[in-house]
A and B are shown apart, each in its own frame.
Chain A
Amino acid sequence: MKTMKLNKLSNLAILAGIMILAAACGGNVERDARRTEREARVDILGAGATFPAPLITAMADEYRTKTNNRITVNYQSIGSGGGIRQFIEQTIMFGMSEAYLSDEVLADIERSTGGTAFNLPITLADVVPTYNIPGIGKGLVFDGQLLVDIYMGRITRWNDPKIAALNPGTDLPALPITVVHRSDGSGTTFVWTSYLTRISDEWGNRVGYGTSVNWPVGLGGNGNEGVAGAIINSPGAIGYNSLSYALLNNMAYGSVVNSSGNTIEPSYEATTQAANIELPDDTRVLFTNTPAPDGYPIAGFAWMLVYENLDRNNAINNREHAQELVEFLVWSITEGQELSETLGFARLPGAAVEKNFDMISRIRWKDEMIGQKTLEERDLI
């Protein structure tokens, strides 16, 4: 009796199986279409600077929607130092950094890949002095020499006459100054120290600039969050963070007197103004202490890093992936820029976009000029 029931059941199962199979065969065309669509999907992997991550990941979201889930751009923020490192190791398709690739790195890349690597400006990075003085909100005025003196350890109290001279009417306490800086390799440090170097030869000779330097004084914090944590927890502390970070975390930040003598409150417009200068062809330029009269003086580019010979980057497997990477690069410096303001980023100036087109047009896959082709197809050059 029991076996009978079982037999009936299994017969039914077989019947159902046949029906499903038949239905599946009927929908073959549709299924094939779905399969080709799935196969056309591409993952693009990038990593690097933390500061532009909100912008680039929002671009990734937008681009994914725009391409009907065909292209997924996975961007992980591991810091500018890490981005450059992994770019050189060829484990990522593009890097991102607030420091451009140095001459030595470019020479190494030239040797190993037979071509150069491009620094494509994608957005602008602004670094603001952040501080924690009980009773004093944002807007304290600094100038370059004052910041050099503080970071050299020469000005040690907040009621120092040099600070008071720039801030008449502010009741500064006799609190000791605690200097905070980044302990990791950071593009924010690169922008900050390049500003101090341009202000003071002494700083340039003794400390210099880079993603990490030998600080004369102060304590280190890991990442924007480490610096912010140290400042929030110690009254009298001063440090530096990217503007969007300071805004998001309600940190007090100062205004800075620029080279034209104007006191500039950090803003995205003032940052875009700062980049309004003559750019070299490879865009490897610092515009800290900008000559632009309304420009905020502690700002720089954030660059996307890509190889000229994409086929020589281990992380890119085939031409199709290379093509999709180029398409995304082009989109991110054109339509993608629309996302900037809503997310609190400064828009790329026109001159930088032009230079980007020139560089992208030189990107190759083996002998094929895929960058040039993509730009022509989109009528951009």
Chain B
Amino acid sequence: MKTLRQRNIRDYIMVSLLILSTVLVLTPLLIIIGYVVVNGIGAISMDFFTQELGSPARAMQGQPTGLIHTIIGTLVVDTIGVIIAIPIGVGAGIMLSEYPEHKLNPLLRVLNDTLNGMPAILKGLLAFALIVRPMGTFSGLAGGIALAFVMIPIIARATESALMTIPWSIREAGLAIGLPRWRVVLSTIVPAARIGLVTGFLIAFARAAGEAAPLMFTSFGNNYLPTHWTGMILGPVDTLPQRLYSLAISPYSEWHTMGWAAGIVLLVFVVALFAGAQLLTRKKAYNT
């Protein structure tokens, strides 16, 4: 028989171990954030958010240079991706969760997992063949579609698990008052699971926002803002992950610092998205 004291000590040790492992998990993240901020903060200035990049000569001669076009481009390309991915991903998720008896479902699940595991650069290549070559130019649209390929499987999976959490009795209630099955899904199940769905969107969005590989040969990059606003969709545009890469491999130390600064912006962007997702899930906990 152990004494209370012994039990308390054992409890204390276990809690300490848990805290330690939490710290260990967080350490790499904090190191990354700290390192990026220390290296990049020097390039963050008013110019950074208001000027276009232009040539490396600008940075070397101290002329104004920045990444306004990159930040706007990222928002545009990511938004295009989300607009394309949400209907398709949610549709697939509904199919998997609400029509489990359908013959195509096992195949759909395998395909979805395959798409999820496929290297992102292949998705870029696909968008290149489907959009860039026929259009004759690189475009924000092609980049958005490549990112949609990244987001679709994540959204489909998230939708499926979100819908699965809704009790079966709600579906039965809907069917009992004579609603057709699709109406039950759209009017009762999807609204009930909306927080889970939105969380899924944000996770997919944050994941896609950090991808550089699928954008290299789709949205391609641009040193300036397009001259017409349509150029954001139909012409080559700059995106943060890809610009970060090209700044990092350039031979100019000024551009290296700008690359770190681009990292800060991207990090803030992604952290904000995840924080948003976190906030929504927490609200869900209060509601139920």
Contact = CB atoms under 8 A, between A and B. Distances in A.
A225 B231 contact: no
B168 to A, nearest CB: 47
Which of B133, B226, B228, B249 has the largest number of chain A CB atoms within 10 A?
B249
A225 B256 CA distance: 12
Interface in B100-145: 132-133, 136-138
A343 B59 CA distance: 12
B133 A45 contact: no
A225 B255 CA distance: 14
A317 B226 CA distance: 16
Interface in A272-296: none
A50 B131 CA distance: 26
A225 B136 contact: no
Contacts of B252: 248
A248 B255 CA distance: 12
A72 B133 CA distance: 22
A58 B138 contact: no
B55 A61 contact: yes
Interface string B251-271: 110000000000000000000
Given A42-B227, A57-B56, A249-B251, A74 B222 contact: yes
B224 interface: yes
Contacts of B137: 45, 91-92, 314-315
B138 A60 contact: no
B138 A54 contact: no
B236 A61 contact: no
Contacts, number: 77
A76 B56 contact: no
Given A72-B224, A72-B227, A61 B54 contact: yes
A223 interface: yes
B220 interface: yes
B57 interface: yes
Given A223-B249, A224-B251, A248-B252, A43 B56 contact: no
B166 to A, nearest CB: 41
Nearest to A54: B56
Given A90-B136, A91-B137, A41 B227 contact: yes
Contact of A60 (B133, B223, B235, B250): B223
Contacts of B282: none
B227 A343 contact: no
A57 B133 contact: no
A74 B224 contact: yes
Nearest to B216: A78
Contacts of A248: 251-252
A41 B55 contact: no
B183 interface: no
Nearest to A90: B136
A155 B24 CA distance: 49
Nearest to A242: B251
Interface residues of B, number: 26
A69 B236 CA distance: 18
B251 A76 contact: no
A45 B138 contact: yes
Interface string A81-103: 00000000111100000000000
Contact of A38 (B58, B132, B228): B228
Contacts of B132: 91
A91 B133 contact: yes
A317 B56 CA distance: 29
B227 A76 contact: no
A69 B222 CA distance: 15
Which of B57, B132, B251 has the largest number of chain A CB atoms within 10 A?
B251
Contacts of B221: 74, 76
B126 to A, nearest CB: 15
Contacts of A314: 136-137
Nearest to B251: A248
Contact of B55 (A38, A43, A54, A90): A54
Contacts of A317: 136
A245 interface: yes
A228 B252 CA distance: 13
Interface in B160-203: none
B228 A57 contact: no
Given A57-B54, A61-B54, A75 B251 contact: no
A60 B249 CA distance: 21
Nearest to A77: B246
Contacts of A42: 227
B235 A54 contact: no
Contact of A245 (B220, B228, B236, B251): B251
A58 B57 contact: yes
B55 A57 contact: yes
B68 to A, nearest CB: 14
A307 B55 CA distance: 26
Interface string B216-248: 000011111011100100011000000000100
B251 A43 contact: no
A74 B223 contact: yes
A43 B227 contact: yes
A151 to B, nearest CB: 24
A61 B58 contact: yes
Which of A41, A72, A317 has the largest number of chain B CB atoms within 10 A?
A72
6 contacts: A43-B227, A43-B228, A45-B235, A47-B220, A57-B57, A91-B137
Q: List the 3 shortest-distance A-B pairs measured between CB atoms, nearest first.
A: A314-B136, A57-B55, A41-B227
Given A74-B221, A76-B222, A225-B249, 9 more contacts: A43-B231, A47-B220, A53-B56, A58-B56, A64-B224, A76-B223, A223-B249, A225-B250, A314-B136
Interface of A: 38, 41-43, 45, 47, 53-54, 57-61, 64, 69, 72, 74-77, 89-92, 223-225, 228, 245, 248-249, 314-315, 317, 343
